Structure 1
Amino acid sequence: MYLIKKIKILHETIKLIKIQKKTIGLVPTMGNLHNGHIKLILLSKKYADIIIVSIFINPMQFNCLSDLENYPKTFKKDCKTLKKIGVNIVFFPNVNEIYPYGICNQTFVEVPRLSNILEGRSRPGHFKGVTTIVAKLFNIIQPNFAFFGEKDYQQLLIIKTLVKELNYFIKIISLSTVRLKNGLAYSSRNNNLTIEEKKIAPYLYKTIKKTSEAITKENINVKEKVINKAKLALIKKGFVIDIYNLYDQKTLNILSQKSKKMIILASVWLGKTRLIDNKKIFN
Protein backbone atom coordinates (compact mmCIF):
# COMPACT_ATOMS: atom_id res chain seq x y z
CA MET A 1 0.00 0.00 0.00
CA TYR A 2 1.37 3.40 -1.01
CA LEU A 3 0.95 6.49 1.17
CA ILE A 4 0.95 9.69 -0.91
CA LYS A 5 0.73 13.26 0.41
CA LYS A 6 1.55 15.34 -2.65
CA ILE A 7 -0.78 15.95 -5.60
CA LYS A 8 2.13 15.91 -8.06
CA ILE A 9 3.29 12.46 -6.93
CA LEU A 10 -0.25 11.10 -7.02
CA HIS A 11 -0.77 12.56 -10.50
CA GLU A 12 2.39 10.80 -11.76
CA THR A 13 1.22 7.54 -10.15
CA ILE A 14 -2.18 7.88 -11.83
CA LYS A 15 -0.45 8.27 -15.20
CA LEU A 16 1.31 4.93 -14.73
CA ILE A 17 -1.95 3.25 -13.73
CA LYS A 18 -3.67 4.65 -16.84
CA ILE A 19 -0.84 3.41 -19.08
CA GLN A 20 -1.46 -0.08 -17.68
CA LYS A 21 -5.14 0.38 -18.59
CA LYS A 22 -6.25 -0.42 -15.06
CA THR A 23 -9.48 1.01 -13.67
CA ILE A 24 -9.46 3.22 -10.58
CA GLY A 25 -11.97 3.29 -7.73
CA LEU A 26 -12.03 6.24 -5.33
CA VAL A 27 -13.44 6.16 -1.81
CA PRO A 28 -13.30 9.69 -0.34
CA THR A 29 -13.18 9.83 3.48
CA MET A 30 -12.21 12.13 6.34
CA GLY A 31 -10.64 9.23 8.21
CA ASN A 32 -11.80 7.85 11.56
CA LEU A 33 -12.90 4.80 9.60
CA HIS A 34 -15.75 2.58 10.76
CA ASN A 35 -17.54 -0.48 9.41
CA GLY A 36 -19.54 1.63 6.94
CA HIS A 37 -16.31 2.76 5.29
CA ILE A 38 -14.96 -0.79 5.28
CA LYS A 39 -18.04 -2.16 3.51
CA LEU A 40 -17.79 0.66 0.95
CA ILE A 41 -14.14 -0.15 0.25
CA LEU A 42 -14.87 -3.88 -0.07
CA LEU A 43 -17.61 -2.99 -2.56
CA SER A 44 -15.16 -0.86 -4.55
CA LYS A 45 -12.86 -3.87 -4.99
CA LYS A 46 -15.60 -5.60 -6.98
CA TYR A 47 -15.57 -2.80 -9.55
CA ALA A 48 -12.05 -1.44 -9.91
CA ASP A 49 -8.49 -2.75 -10.30
CA ILE A 50 -6.84 -0.07 -8.17
CA ILE A 51 -8.47 1.31 -5.01
CA ILE A 52 -7.57 4.77 -3.77
CA VAL A 53 -8.85 5.97 -0.40
CA SER A 54 -8.48 9.66 0.36
CA ILE A 55 -8.21 10.85 3.96
CA PHE A 56 -8.70 14.58 4.27
CA ILE A 57 -10.54 16.45 7.02
CA ASN A 58 -11.98 19.16 4.82
CA PRO A 59 -12.23 22.50 6.66
CA MET A 60 -14.42 24.01 3.96
CA GLN A 61 -17.39 21.82 4.88
CA PHE A 62 -17.39 22.59 8.60
CA ASN A 63 -19.70 25.30 9.88
CA CYS A 64 -18.25 25.29 13.37
CA LEU A 65 -14.53 25.64 14.13
CA SER A 66 -14.80 23.51 17.27
CA ASP A 67 -16.34 20.64 15.23
CA LEU A 68 -13.36 20.80 12.87
CA GLU A 69 -10.84 20.85 15.72
CA ASN A 70 -12.58 18.01 17.57
CA TYR A 71 -12.99 15.71 14.56
CA PRO A 72 -11.29 12.39 15.50
CA LYS A 73 -7.87 11.89 13.91
CA THR A 74 -6.98 8.20 13.74
CA PHE A 75 -4.60 8.09 10.78
CA LYS A 76 -2.28 5.29 11.94
CA LYS A 77 -5.16 3.07 12.94
CA ASP A 78 -6.95 3.82 9.65
CA CYS A 79 -3.86 2.90 7.62
CA LYS A 80 -3.53 -0.46 9.39
CA THR A 81 -7.16 -1.21 8.53
CA LEU A 82 -6.76 -0.10 4.90
CA LYS A 83 -3.63 -2.18 4.42
CA LYS A 84 -5.37 -5.22 5.88
CA ILE A 85 -8.26 -5.01 3.41
CA GLY A 86 -6.01 -4.50 0.39
CA VAL A 87 -6.27 -0.80 -0.48
CA ASN A 88 -3.62 0.18 -3.04
CA ILE A 89 -3.13 3.89 -2.35
CA VAL A 90 -3.95 6.23 0.51
CA PHE A 91 -3.98 9.90 -0.46
CA PHE A 92 -3.64 12.09 2.64
CA PRO A 93 -2.81 15.68 1.67
CA ASN A 94 -2.56 18.50 4.18
CA VAL A 95 -4.73 21.62 4.00
CA ASN A 96 -2.06 23.72 2.25
CA GLU A 97 -1.74 21.10 -0.47
CA ILE A 98 -5.46 21.25 -1.23
CA TYR A 99 -6.04 24.96 -0.55
CA PRO A 100 -2.66 26.64 -1.26
CA TYR A 101 -4.14 30.16 -1.25
CA GLY A 102 -6.50 29.60 1.67
CA ILE A 103 -10.16 28.66 1.76
CA CYS A 104 -11.41 32.24 1.35
CA ASN A 105 -9.56 32.52 -1.97
CA GLN A 106 -10.47 29.04 -3.20
CA THR A 107 -12.44 28.61 -6.42
CA PHE A 108 -15.49 26.59 -5.42
CA VAL A 109 -18.03 24.25 -6.99
CA GLU A 110 -21.66 24.33 -5.94
CA VAL A 111 -24.87 22.53 -6.91
CA PRO A 112 -27.27 25.44 -6.27
CA ARG A 113 -30.77 24.25 -5.39
CA LEU A 114 -30.00 20.92 -3.75
CA SER A 115 -27.24 22.44 -1.62
CA ASN A 116 -29.46 25.08 -0.05
CA ILE A 117 -32.38 23.00 1.20
CA LEU A 118 -32.83 20.63 4.15
CA GLU A 119 -29.34 19.95 5.57
CA GLY A 120 -28.00 22.78 3.45
CA ARG A 121 -30.36 25.25 5.09
CA SER A 122 -29.30 24.12 8.55
CA ARG A 123 -25.61 24.05 7.67
CA PRO A 124 -24.92 26.96 5.26
CA GLY A 125 -21.89 26.38 3.06
CA HIS A 126 -21.50 22.74 4.08
CA PHE A 127 -22.36 21.21 0.71
CA LYS A 128 -20.29 23.83 -1.14
CA GLY A 129 -17.34 22.48 0.82
CA VAL A 130 -18.28 18.89 -0.02
CA THR A 131 -18.72 19.46 -3.75
CA THR A 132 -15.53 21.54 -3.99
CA ILE A 133 -13.34 18.86 -2.40
CA VAL A 134 -15.04 16.06 -4.34
CA ALA A 135 -14.54 17.94 -7.62
CA LYS A 136 -10.87 18.50 -6.75
CA LEU A 137 -10.40 14.80 -5.95
CA PHE A 138 -12.12 13.84 -9.20
CA ASN A 139 -9.79 16.16 -11.13
CA ILE A 140 -6.66 14.92 -9.37
CA ILE A 141 -7.42 11.19 -9.42
CA GLN A 142 -9.68 10.82 -12.51
CA PRO A 143 -11.32 7.67 -11.18
CA ASN A 144 -13.53 5.39 -13.22
CA PHE A 145 -15.72 4.79 -10.17
CA ALA A 146 -16.39 6.69 -6.96
CA PHE A 147 -18.14 5.20 -3.94
CA PHE A 148 -20.46 6.87 -1.42
CA GLY A 149 -22.81 5.69 1.32
CA GLU A 150 -26.56 6.26 1.21
CA LYS A 151 -26.77 7.44 4.83
CA ASP A 152 -25.87 10.93 3.59
CA TYR A 153 -28.65 10.76 0.99
CA GLN A 154 -28.77 14.46 0.17
CA GLN A 155 -25.00 14.50 -0.28
CA LEU A 156 -25.20 11.47 -2.59
CA LEU A 157 -27.86 13.14 -4.74
CA ILE A 158 -25.80 16.35 -4.89
CA ILE A 159 -22.68 14.44 -6.03
CA LYS A 160 -24.63 12.55 -8.69
CA THR A 161 -25.94 15.90 -9.95
CA LEU A 162 -22.40 17.34 -9.92
CA VAL A 163 -21.11 14.43 -12.03
CA LYS A 164 -23.96 14.73 -14.51
CA GLU A 165 -23.90 18.51 -14.91
CA LEU A 166 -20.11 18.91 -15.05
CA ASN A 167 -19.80 15.98 -17.50
CA TYR A 168 -17.47 13.82 -15.42
CA PHE A 169 -17.03 10.37 -16.93
CA ILE A 170 -17.23 8.77 -13.51
CA LYS A 171 -19.75 6.17 -12.37
CA ILE A 172 -21.07 6.84 -8.87
CA ILE A 173 -21.74 3.64 -6.92
CA SER A 174 -23.69 3.85 -3.68
CA LEU A 175 -24.00 1.46 -0.76
CA SER A 176 -27.03 1.04 1.48
CA THR A 177 -26.59 2.39 5.00
CA VAL A 178 -24.50 0.07 7.16
CA ARG A 179 -25.91 -0.34 10.65
CA LEU A 180 -25.04 -1.73 14.05
CA LYS A 181 -27.16 -4.65 15.26
CA ASN A 182 -29.40 -2.20 17.13
CA GLY A 183 -30.18 -0.34 13.90
CA LEU A 184 -28.08 2.77 14.51
CA ALA A 185 -26.28 3.87 11.35
CA TYR A 186 -22.49 3.80 11.55
CA SER A 187 -21.10 7.33 11.78
CA SER A 188 -18.01 9.06 13.12
CA ARG A 189 -20.42 11.27 15.06
CA ASN A 190 -21.49 8.29 17.17
CA ASN A 191 -18.20 8.71 19.07
CA ASN A 192 -19.59 11.93 20.53
CA LEU A 193 -22.61 10.23 22.12
CA THR A 194 -22.60 9.63 25.85
CA ILE A 195 -23.27 6.12 27.21
CA GLU A 196 -26.92 7.02 27.87
CA GLU A 197 -27.33 8.67 24.46
CA LYS A 198 -26.00 5.53 22.76
CA LYS A 199 -28.89 3.63 24.32
CA ILE A 200 -31.41 6.15 22.99
CA ALA A 201 -29.89 6.76 19.52
CA PRO A 202 -31.16 3.51 17.87
CA TYR A 203 -34.72 4.72 18.51
CA LEU A 204 -34.32 7.13 15.57
CA TYR A 205 -34.20 4.36 12.97
CA LYS A 206 -36.86 2.35 14.79
CA THR A 207 -39.15 5.35 14.49
CA ILE A 208 -38.26 5.80 10.81
CA LYS A 209 -39.15 2.15 10.16
CA LYS A 210 -42.49 2.55 11.97
CA THR A 211 -43.23 5.62 9.86
CA SER A 212 -42.36 3.70 6.69
CA GLU A 213 -44.60 0.80 7.66
CA ALA A 214 -47.50 3.10 8.52
CA ILE A 215 -47.19 5.07 5.27
CA THR A 216 -47.03 1.84 3.25
CA LYS A 217 -50.01 0.38 5.08
CA GLU A 218 -52.19 3.47 5.22
CA ASN A 219 -53.28 5.87 2.49
CA ILE A 220 -50.70 8.51 1.56
CA ASN A 221 -53.24 11.18 2.54
CA VAL A 222 -52.65 10.40 6.23
CA LYS A 223 -48.90 11.05 5.99
CA GLU A 224 -49.09 14.28 8.00
CA LYS A 225 -50.73 12.45 10.91
CA VAL A 226 -48.12 9.67 10.78
CA ILE A 227 -45.21 12.14 10.60
CA ASN A 228 -46.50 14.17 13.55
CA LYS A 229 -46.92 11.03 15.63
CA ALA A 230 -43.32 10.03 14.88
CA LYS A 231 -42.02 13.48 15.79
CA LEU A 232 -43.79 13.41 19.13
CA ALA A 233 -42.35 9.97 19.88
CA LEU A 234 -38.82 11.19 19.13
CA ILE A 235 -39.24 14.33 21.23
CA LYS A 236 -40.38 12.23 24.19
CA LYS A 237 -37.17 10.20 23.88
CA GLY A 238 -35.07 13.36 24.06
CA PHE A 239 -34.35 14.11 20.40
CA VAL A 240 -34.48 17.68 19.08
CA ILE A 241 -35.83 17.54 15.53
CA ASP A 242 -34.47 19.60 12.68
CA ILE A 243 -35.75 17.53 9.74
CA TYR A 244 -38.27 14.70 9.73
CA ASN A 245 -40.57 14.32 6.74
CA LEU A 246 -41.37 12.53 3.50
CA TYR A 247 -39.67 13.74 0.34
CA ASP A 248 -39.44 12.90 -3.33
CA GLN A 249 -36.32 10.76 -3.87
CA LYS A 250 -35.20 12.58 -7.03
CA THR A 251 -35.96 16.22 -6.20
CA LEU A 252 -36.02 16.25 -2.38
CA ASN A 253 -39.20 18.30 -2.63
CA ILE A 254 -41.84 17.77 0.02
CA LEU A 255 -43.87 14.78 -1.09
CA SER A 256 -46.68 15.43 -3.57
CA GLN A 257 -49.27 13.19 -5.20
CA LYS A 258 -47.05 13.12 -8.31
CA SER A 259 -44.12 11.58 -6.43
CA LYS A 260 -43.50 7.98 -7.43
CA LYS A 261 -40.65 7.22 -5.04
CA MET A 262 -40.54 8.52 -1.49
CA ILE A 263 -37.87 8.79 1.14
CA ILE A 264 -38.04 9.63 4.84
CA LEU A 265 -35.23 12.02 5.72
CA ALA A 266 -34.35 12.65 9.34
CA SER A 267 -31.88 15.03 10.93
CA VAL A 268 -31.99 15.34 14.69
CA TRP A 269 -29.93 16.37 17.69
CA LEU A 270 -29.30 14.05 20.58
CA GLY A 271 -27.48 16.07 23.19
CA LYS A 272 -24.63 17.78 21.33
CA THR A 273 -24.58 15.25 18.49
CA ARG A 274 -26.32 15.65 15.15
CA LEU A 275 -27.61 12.36 13.70
CA ILE A 276 -28.94 11.84 10.19
CA ASP A 277 -30.74 8.85 8.71
CA ASN A 278 -33.24 7.92 6.02
CA LYS A 279 -35.34 5.16 4.53
CA LYS A 280 -36.66 4.82 1.00
CA ILE A 281 -40.33 4.00 0.41
CA PHE A 282 -41.49 2.83 -3.00
CA ASN A 283 -45.07 3.48 -4.11
Structure 2
Amino acid sequence: MKAILTRHRGMPAQDGAGVKLTRIINQPSLRYQDPFLMLDEFRSDDPNDYIAGFPPHPHRGFVTLTYMLAGRMEHKDSVGNTGVVESGGAQWMKAARGIIHAEMPKQEEGLMWGFQLWLNLPAKDKMSPAEWADYPADKIPEVALDGLTLRVVAGSYQGQQGPIQQQEQQFEMYDLRFSEAAAWQQGKVSQQTRLAYVYQGEVELNDSLLQRGELVRLAPAAELTLRSKGEAGMLLLAAEPIGEPIAQYGPFVMNTQAEIEQAINDYQRGRLTTTT
Protein backbone atom coordinates (compact mmCIF):
# COMPACT_ATOMS: atom_id res chain seq x y z
CA MET A 1 0.00 0.00 0.00
CA LYS A 2 1.20 3.51 -0.84
CA ALA A 3 2.23 5.15 2.43
CA ILE A 4 2.68 8.78 1.36
CA LEU A 5 -0.44 10.54 0.09
CA THR A 6 1.08 14.00 -0.46
CA ARG A 7 4.30 15.89 0.34
CA HIS A 8 4.48 19.51 1.48
CA ARG A 9 6.90 22.23 2.58
CA GLY A 10 6.07 25.07 4.92
CA MET A 11 6.21 28.72 3.98
CA PRO A 12 7.92 31.67 5.72
CA ALA A 13 5.56 33.68 7.92
CA GLN A 14 5.50 36.14 10.80
CA ASP A 15 3.21 36.17 13.82
CA GLY A 16 2.92 37.85 17.17
CA ALA A 17 5.02 41.01 17.26
CA GLY A 18 7.07 39.93 14.25
CA VAL A 19 8.38 36.49 15.22
CA LYS A 20 9.75 34.74 12.12
CA LEU A 21 8.50 31.19 11.68
CA THR A 22 7.60 28.52 9.15
CA ARG A 23 3.89 27.77 8.72
CA ILE A 24 3.56 24.09 7.89
CA ILE A 25 -0.19 23.45 8.28
CA ASN A 26 -2.76 26.14 7.35
CA GLN A 27 -0.93 27.63 4.39
CA PRO A 28 -1.89 27.62 0.69
CA SER A 29 -0.50 24.17 -0.16
CA LEU A 30 -1.79 22.47 3.00
CA ARG A 31 -4.96 23.63 4.72
CA TYR A 32 -6.57 22.15 7.83
CA GLN A 33 -5.81 18.50 8.53
CA ASP A 34 -8.80 17.80 10.76
CA PRO A 35 -8.45 18.07 13.74
CA PHE A 36 -5.00 19.69 13.29
CA LEU A 37 -5.66 23.33 12.41
CA MET A 38 -2.14 24.71 12.29
CA LEU A 39 1.48 23.71 12.81
CA ASP A 40 4.23 26.34 13.08
CA GLU A 41 7.95 25.80 13.54
CA PHE A 42 10.07 28.63 14.93
CA ARG A 43 13.82 28.18 14.72
CA SER A 44 16.46 30.89 14.92
CA ASP A 45 19.59 31.82 16.85
CA ASP A 46 19.13 35.48 15.86
CA PRO A 47 17.30 37.28 18.72
CA ASN A 48 15.87 39.76 16.22
CA ASP A 49 13.76 36.91 14.83
CA TYR A 50 12.04 36.08 18.14
CA ILE A 51 12.74 38.65 20.86
CA ALA A 52 9.46 40.57 20.39
CA GLY A 53 7.52 37.40 21.14
CA PHE A 54 3.76 37.05 21.20
CA PRO A 55 2.26 39.83 23.37
CA PRO A 56 -1.25 39.38 24.88
CA HIS A 57 -3.75 38.08 22.33
CA PRO A 58 -7.08 36.20 22.50
CA HIS A 59 -8.15 32.68 21.52
CA ARG A 60 -11.47 30.85 21.44
CA GLY A 61 -12.66 27.47 20.23
CA PHE A 62 -9.53 25.28 20.08
CA VAL A 63 -6.39 24.02 21.85
CA THR A 64 -2.75 25.08 21.53
CA LEU A 65 0.23 22.83 22.20
CA THR A 66 3.70 24.40 22.42
CA TYR A 67 6.62 21.96 22.26
CA MET A 68 10.19 23.19 22.67
CA LEU A 69 13.39 21.72 21.30
CA ALA A 70 15.64 24.55 22.49
CA GLY A 71 15.21 27.85 24.32
CA ARG A 72 12.81 29.18 26.96
CA MET A 73 9.35 30.72 26.49
CA GLU A 74 7.17 32.20 29.23
CA HIS A 75 3.37 31.87 29.28
CA LYS A 76 0.97 34.20 31.13
CA ASP A 77 -2.80 34.29 30.70
CA SER A 78 -6.02 35.97 31.81
CA VAL A 79 -6.97 32.99 33.99
CA GLY A 80 -3.90 33.57 36.18
CA ASN A 81 -1.66 30.80 34.87
CA THR A 82 2.04 31.38 34.36
CA GLY A 83 4.95 29.11 33.49
CA VAL A 84 8.12 28.74 31.45
CA VAL A 85 8.46 25.99 28.86
CA GLU A 86 12.05 24.94 28.20
CA SER A 87 13.93 22.51 25.95
CA GLY A 88 12.11 19.18 25.81
CA GLY A 89 9.02 20.52 27.57
CA ALA A 90 5.46 21.18 26.45
CA GLN A 91 2.57 23.47 27.36
CA TRP A 92 -1.06 22.67 26.62
CA MET A 93 -3.75 25.35 26.61
CA LYS A 94 -7.44 24.67 26.03
CA ALA A 95 -8.73 28.09 25.02
CA ALA A 96 -12.32 26.81 24.69
CA ARG A 97 -14.76 29.68 25.42
CA GLY A 98 -11.95 32.16 25.71
CA ILE A 99 -8.55 33.10 27.07
CA ILE A 100 -6.07 35.93 26.58
CA HIS A 101 -2.43 34.97 26.86
CA ALA A 102 1.11 36.07 26.08
CA GLU A 103 4.11 33.96 25.09
CA MET A 104 7.38 35.82 25.50
CA PRO A 105 10.99 34.62 25.19
CA LYS A 106 12.88 34.20 28.46
CA GLN A 107 16.24 34.64 26.75
CA GLU A 108 18.02 37.44 24.93
CA GLU A 109 20.39 35.28 22.90
CA GLY A 110 20.86 31.72 21.71
CA LEU A 111 18.74 29.25 19.77
CA MET A 112 14.94 29.38 20.06
CA TRP A 113 13.45 26.27 18.43
CA GLY A 114 10.08 24.70 18.82
CA PHE A 115 6.59 24.12 17.50
CA GLN A 116 3.07 25.31 18.11
CA LEU A 117 0.25 22.99 17.15
CA TRP A 118 -3.43 24.02 17.05
CA LEU A 119 -6.08 21.34 17.54
CA ASN A 120 -9.75 21.87 16.95
CA LEU A 121 -12.43 21.22 19.56
CA PRO A 122 -15.82 19.62 18.85
CA ALA A 123 -18.73 22.09 18.81
CA LYS A 124 -20.04 20.76 22.13
CA ASP A 125 -16.76 21.68 23.86
CA LYS A 126 -15.91 25.02 22.26
CA MET A 127 -17.61 27.01 25.04
CA SER A 128 -16.33 24.94 27.96
CA PRO A 129 -14.02 26.53 30.58
CA ALA A 130 -10.43 27.32 29.60
CA GLU A 131 -7.62 25.12 30.98
CA TRP A 132 -3.82 25.14 30.97
CA ALA A 133 -1.04 22.74 31.94
CA ASP A 134 2.76 22.82 31.93
CA TYR A 135 4.86 19.68 31.35
CA PRO A 136 8.64 20.00 31.83
CA ALA A 137 10.96 17.68 29.93
CA ASP A 138 11.19 15.12 32.73
CA LYS A 139 7.40 14.62 32.60
CA ILE A 140 7.46 13.48 28.97
CA PRO A 141 8.18 9.73 28.80
CA GLU A 142 11.04 8.48 26.65
CA VAL A 143 11.40 5.01 25.18
CA ALA A 144 15.01 4.10 24.38
CA LEU A 145 15.34 2.01 21.22
CA ASP A 146 18.33 0.95 19.13
CA GLY A 147 19.83 4.17 17.78
CA LEU A 148 16.90 6.40 18.66
CA THR A 149 14.73 7.77 21.43
CA LEU A 150 10.96 8.04 21.09
CA ARG A 151 9.39 10.78 23.24
CA VAL A 152 5.67 10.34 23.94
CA VAL A 153 4.17 13.84 24.07
CA ALA A 154 0.59 12.60 23.60
CA GLY A 155 -0.88 9.13 23.24
CA SER A 156 0.90 5.98 24.36
CA TYR A 157 3.74 3.74 23.22
CA GLN A 158 4.99 0.49 24.77
CA GLY A 159 3.09 1.18 27.96
CA GLN A 160 4.34 4.77 28.28
CA GLN A 161 1.56 7.35 28.45
CA GLY A 162 2.14 10.90 27.22
CA PRO A 163 1.17 13.66 29.69
CA ILE A 164 -1.18 15.47 27.30
CA GLN A 165 -4.49 13.65 27.44
CA GLN A 166 -7.34 15.59 25.87
CA GLN A 167 -10.66 13.82 26.41
CA GLU A 168 -12.44 15.93 23.79
CA GLN A 169 -10.03 14.87 21.03
CA GLN A 170 -7.65 11.98 21.54
CA PHE A 171 -4.49 12.27 19.47
CA GLU A 172 -0.92 11.03 19.27
CA MET A 173 2.26 13.06 19.07
CA TYR A 174 5.62 11.29 19.03
CA ASP A 175 9.05 12.88 18.74
CA LEU A 176 11.51 10.44 17.16
CA ARG A 177 15.13 11.41 17.77
CA PHE A 178 17.68 9.37 15.81
CA SER A 179 21.19 9.58 17.26
CA GLU A 180 22.80 7.29 14.69
CA ALA A 181 21.93 5.02 11.80
CA ALA A 182 18.78 3.24 12.90
CA ALA A 183 15.38 1.94 11.82
CA TRP A 184 11.91 2.02 13.38
CA GLN A 185 8.68 0.45 12.28
CA GLN A 186 5.04 1.34 12.84
CA GLY A 187 2.01 -0.61 11.69
CA LYS A 188 -1.34 0.72 10.50
CA VAL A 189 -3.09 3.13 12.86
CA SER A 190 -6.79 3.52 13.65
CA GLN A 191 -6.81 7.31 13.22
CA GLN A 192 -7.69 8.64 9.77
CA THR A 193 -5.45 11.74 9.99
CA ARG A 194 -1.78 10.75 10.06
CA LEU A 195 1.13 13.14 9.48
CA ALA A 196 4.93 13.11 9.69
CA TYR A 197 7.29 16.10 9.73
CA VAL A 198 11.09 15.96 9.49
CA TYR A 199 12.61 18.73 11.61
CA GLN A 200 16.23 17.62 11.47
CA GLY A 201 18.41 15.66 9.06
CA GLU A 202 16.97 13.16 6.61
CA VAL A 203 14.63 10.22 7.17
CA GLU A 204 13.84 7.48 4.68
CA LEU A 205 10.18 6.50 4.92
CA ASN A 206 9.71 3.16 3.20
CA ASP A 207 11.26 3.93 -0.21
CA SER A 208 11.04 7.75 -0.06
CA LEU A 209 13.75 10.05 1.28
CA LEU A 210 12.35 12.95 3.31
CA GLN A 211 14.50 15.97 4.06
CA ARG A 212 14.35 18.56 6.80
CA GLY A 213 11.29 20.79 6.43
CA GLU A 214 9.09 18.22 4.68
CA LEU A 215 5.67 17.15 5.96
CA VAL A 216 3.88 14.15 4.52
CA ARG A 217 0.27 13.03 4.75
CA LEU A 218 0.21 9.30 5.40
CA ALA A 219 -2.33 6.59 4.65
CA PRO A 220 -3.66 5.31 8.00
CA ALA A 221 -3.61 1.67 6.84
CA ALA A 222 0.00 1.80 5.62
CA GLU A 223 2.84 0.15 7.51
CA LEU A 224 5.90 2.36 7.95
CA THR A 225 9.61 1.68 8.11
CA LEU A 226 11.65 4.75 9.04
CA ARG A 227 15.42 4.75 8.55
CA SER A 228 18.08 7.31 9.27
CA LYS A 229 21.76 7.24 8.36
CA GLY A 230 22.64 9.55 11.22
CA GLU A 231 21.26 12.22 13.52
CA ALA A 232 17.69 13.17 12.60
CA GLY A 233 14.38 14.18 14.13
CA MET A 234 10.75 13.61 13.14
CA LEU A 235 7.34 14.43 14.59
CA LEU A 236 4.52 11.92 14.09
CA LEU A 237 0.90 13.05 14.53
CA ALA A 238 -2.28 11.01 14.39
CA ALA A 239 -5.90 11.75 15.27
CA GLU A 240 -9.47 11.01 14.28
CA PRO A 241 -11.15 13.86 12.37
CA ILE A 242 -13.98 15.73 14.09
CA GLY A 243 -15.82 16.14 10.81
CA GLU A 244 -17.52 19.46 11.62
CA PRO A 245 -17.53 22.78 9.71
CA ILE A 246 -14.59 25.08 10.50
CA ALA A 247 -14.94 28.85 10.58
CA GLN A 248 -11.76 30.76 11.43
CA TYR A 249 -10.91 34.41 11.85
CA GLY A 250 -7.37 34.83 13.18
CA PRO A 251 -7.28 33.54 16.76
CA PHE A 252 -10.93 32.40 16.80
CA VAL A 253 -12.00 28.98 15.46
CA MET A 254 -15.70 28.13 15.60
CA ASN A 255 -18.26 26.30 13.45
CA THR A 256 -20.16 29.20 11.90
CA GLN A 257 -19.55 32.79 10.83
CA ALA A 258 -22.13 33.95 13.36
CA GLU A 259 -20.08 32.36 16.15
CA ILE A 260 -16.95 34.10 14.85
CA GLU A 261 -18.77 37.45 14.93
CA GLN A 262 -19.91 36.68 18.48
CA ALA A 263 -16.31 35.90 19.51
CA ILE A 264 -15.09 39.21 18.07
CA ASN A 265 -17.90 41.07 19.80
CA ASP A 266 -17.23 39.33 23.11
CA TYR A 267 -13.53 40.19 22.90
CA GLN A 268 -14.21 43.83 22.08
CA ARG A 269 -16.62 44.08 25.03
CA GLY A 270 -14.31 42.28 27.46
CA ARG A 271 -16.55 39.21 27.71
CA LEU A 272 -14.44 36.67 25.83
CA THR A 273 -13.80 34.44 28.84
CA THR A 274 -17.40 34.31 30.07
CA THR A 275 -20.52 32.57 28.77
CA THR A 276 -22.90 35.47 29.38
- What is the TM-score when the length of structure 2 is the normalising length? 0.28
Q: Which has the higher contact order (CA 8 A, sep 6+)?
A: 2
**Higher helix proportion (structure 1 or 2):** 1
Higher strand share: 2
Q: Whose Rg is larger? A: 1
Q: TM-score, normalised by structure 1?
A: 0.28
